[in-house]
Amino acid sequence: MITLFKLLSLPTWLSSMLLSHALAAPADGGFIGSSLDDDNIDYATSLTGGESCTYNQIKQIQSGFHEMSVLFASAQSPDFSQAAEREFFGQAARIANYTSLITENLARAAQYSNSKGNRTHMPDIHVRCDDPNDVCDEGNQKDGKHTAYNIAHGAHINFCDRYFKLDALDDKIGKDSGNGQQILDLMHYYNRAAVWARMIMHISEVGHAIVATPRPNPNPNSTTPWITTYTTHNPMRISVLAGVRDSKPDTNGPNNVRQLKYAYGVARSKLLTTLSTQDPYDAANNAESYGLYALSRYIMLRRGFYPSMPIMDFGNEIAVLTNEAIQGGEDVKFACYEMPDVLPLLDGVKEIGVPLSSSAHGRSSVLGGEMMFLWGVMVWTCLDSII
């Protein structure tokens, strides 16, 4: 029989590993739903993979997913005459052709948390922390670095270290959060749920975007030399600011590379709807806009006011187009502002993750520790038979 004395007589590394595994493994049978108190949520997906994630990181990813579901549940049935809709998607008259697309995108994002009895199943999401594209640390203090990125518009997301430094949703939205003008600043409330929301919109089964394709007019007598066709079932990316001066990379190498200004953050997302240089569907195509809109709706629900700052309606468009400080976005950046956050699936990287099931104690592939744990159990058993 294994006694406490026998356990303590084992090598320190082995006894510590066995104890920590026993204490850390969740006792319930599910991954998404474990340790969550909301009985009204019936998740329509599973998280898989977990490469190089610690147990605590898996829990933070799981909790962020739950909080993202709460955000999108509060962002349904948009009223495009209201301030939040106007600021994040555009004036109703200008986006009249795209309001149904926006509404449907929000509805698909909300399908991840279904009322019990709804049989809709969304794609399982492969989560990981091993940075297979090696970009988590790209960027700089001025332009920000990645918190997470989507892989190939699939249900496949890598979470970088900066994600795990973000606050939980209700820690940021709580009544004691913010003071003075800070209370109205939406970026003050940015949290891990908003990152998850942006990642979800990149999944091709969830976020649909408009793509305009021009082609020569076959009619030689037409006064319109080009004909543009629009398609709607395209994966969603991050839109870029148009009509502004491109950034230049801050490197020791050649600085003549074109560097686009991606619409991350509140300031740039709102510029998509205010600048005449933008297409009317640019905001509808911007994954960040959906996450920020959902966050603002949740704050309105919880706190009873609309966090309207920063206000990006300057009246003088030329001043905005030439002012790089305004275009620069917020001081605190939660994405790499000069890089896309959808990256290709590299050769040798598995697209489908191993299920994170109760049989794996909810942490398959975590630190590669399961094989080590089994080996430790075998050693422990042998010791017990001879002690």
Q: How far apart are CA 251 and CA 89, in angstroms?
A: 35
In this predicted structure, what is the pLDDT of residue 256? 46
In this predicted structure, what is the pLDDT of residue 386? 52
Q: Which residue has the higher pLDDT, 270 or 19?
A: 270
Q: Give 172: exposed, middle or buried? Use CB within 10 Å, 0-12, 13-18, 19+.
A: buried
Q: Which two tokens stand for residue 276?
A: 């005449």
Distances (CA, A) of 174 to 188, 266, 304, 366: 12, 20, 12, 32
In this predicted structure, what is the pLDDT of residue 343? 97
In this predicted structure, what is the pLDDT of residue 98? 96
Overall average pLDDT of the 315-326 stretch: 64
Tell me which residue of 180, 283, 190, 292 sits closest to 236, measured CA to CA: 283
Distance of CA 312 to the CA centre of its chain: 24
CATH class in words for 26-362:
alpha beta
Backbone angles phi, psi at 332, to 5 degrees: -95, 120
Q: Which residue has the higher pLDDT, 167 or 3?
A: 167
Mean pLDDT of the chain: 79
**pLDDT band at residue 349 under the 50/70/90 scheme:** very high
155 pLDDT more than 60: yes
Q: If you average pLDDT over each of 177-181, 250-254, 321-325, which comes out highest?
A: 177-181
In this predicted structure, what is the pLDDT of residue 27? 34
Q: Which residue has the higher pLDDT, 115 or 263?
A: 263
In this predicted structure, what is the pLDDT of residue 45? 85
123 pLDDT more than 60: yes
80 pLDDT more than 80: yes
This prediction's pTM: 0.79
Match 């190498």 to its residue by tokens: 253
Q: Which residue has the higher pLDDT, 223 or 198?
A: 198
Q: Give 14: exposed, middle or buried? Use CB within 10 Å, 0-12, 13-18, 19+.
A: middle
**pLDDT band at residue 175 under the 50/70/90 scheme:** low
DSSP letter, residue 193: H
Pairing between β-strand 156-159 and β-strand 208-216 as defined by DSSP bridges? unpaired
Q: Which residue has the higher pLDDT, 164 or 27?
A: 164
Match 């999108």 to its residue by tokens: 72
Q: How far apart are CA 279 and CA 271, in angstroms?
A: 11
Q: Which residue has the higher pLDDT, 113 or 372?
A: 113
Contact 363, 55 (CB under 8 A): yes
34 pLDDT more than 50: no
Q: 240-253, pLDDT tens digit by residue?
A: 988 655 555 555 55
**pLDDT band at residue 273 under the 50/70/90 scheme:** very high
Instruction: Give the domain ranges of the chain.
Output: 26-362
What is the 3 state secondary structure string of 107-149?
A: HHHHCCEECCCCCCCCCCEEEECCCCCCCCCCEECCCEECCEE
Q: Which of 112-126, 253-267, 292-306, 357-371 has the lowest mean pLDDT?
A: 357-371
Overall average pLDDT of the 222-231 stretch: 85
In this predicted structure, what is the pLDDT of residue 180? 72
**pLDDT band at residue 214 under the 50/70/90 scheme:** confident
